[in-house]
Chain A
Amino acid sequence: DAGVIQSPRHEVTEMGQEVTLRCKPISGHNSLFWYRQTMMRGLELLIYFNNNVPIDDSGMPEDRFSAKMPNASFSTLKIQPSEPRDSAVYFCASSPTPTPGGEQFFGPGTRLTVL
């Protein structure tokens, strides 16, 4: 298995631009998670999906952030408009358990820099 796949691995953009991060979970996994990692705040859960349905988005910073999971094999995290404070590493993870709490498998991350 290829594991969780994220693209792009690196993204540099200018303030105000739209950014779309992509994730392909491990086949057969029911749950998908988006995290953000910064030096200041550590690892934060932004949103998670169970069977393609968003369950908890309380970690999404503000309306500029949105996430979708149109099918079991693909999810996107969009930031519009982007701001310099959004610069971070964004991780996608998936889990084979029906509900979160089981082991999660992480992708390599997308390093986002907003100038």
Chain B
Amino acid sequence: AQSVTQLDSHVSVSEGTPVLLRCNYSSSYSPSLFWYVQHPNKGLQLLLKYTSAATLVKGINGFEAEFKKSETSFHLTKPSAHMSDAAEYFCVVSDRNAGNMLTFGGGTRLMVKP
């Protein structure tokens, strides 16, 4: 069975400082991994995805994530937070053994202080 654990339900940073949102996954086979962002009262938007190519994945709005198989992690980072980054972020895993179904983490709410 596949699962996703987002280690922090809330993260607060100051504008201009780095962002780190942590995600650990469990998967029987080589997974596909995604980060989605949800702004208030909006749908989910794909930030980036990993599908067994380069382990460092660059996404939109300056975000990137690194796939580390040995640590079963897929943490999301950004060098410098912007006020507009305040949102909820979901780490998502999918693998063929689970019928390619998406499994969502519980979400991390990112707050950015001026």
Size bracket of the B interface? 20 to 34
B46 proximal to A (CB < 8 A): yes
Residue contact B44 to A106, C-beta cutoff 8 Å? yes
B96 proximal to A (CB < 8 A): yes
Given A101-B94, A103-B49, residue A91 in contact with residue B44 (CB < 8 A): yes
Q: Which residues of A contact B49 (CB under 8 A)?
A: 103
Instruction: Report which of B34, B90, B96, B102 forms a contact with A45, defined as CB distance below 8 A.
Output: B102
Distance of B108 from chain A, by nearest CB (Å):
12
Residue contact A101 to B44, C-beta cutoff 8 Å? no
> Considering only CB atoms, which chain B residue lies closest to A55 in the complex?
B99
Contact with B along A60-78 (1 / 0, CB 8 A): 0000000000000000000
Instruction: Report A's interface with B, CB cutoff 8 A.
Output: 4, 42-43, 45, 56, 91, 93, 99-109, 111
The contact sample of 22 A-B pairs, CB cut-off 8 A, is A4-B43, A42-B106, A43-B104, A43-B107, A45-B102, A56-B99, A91-B43, A93-B44, A99-B99, A99-B100, A100-B94, A100-B99, A101-B100, A101-B101, A101-B102, A104-B46, A106-B36, A106-B43, A107-B43, A108-B42, A108-B43, A111-B41
Besides A45-B102, A91-B43, A91-B44, 17 other A-B contacts (C-beta < 8 A): A4-B43, A43-B90, A45-B101, A56-B99, A99-B100, A100-B94, A100-B100, A101-B101, A103-B46, A104-B102, A105-B46, A106-B36, A106-B43, A107-B43, A108-B42, A109-B43, A111-B41
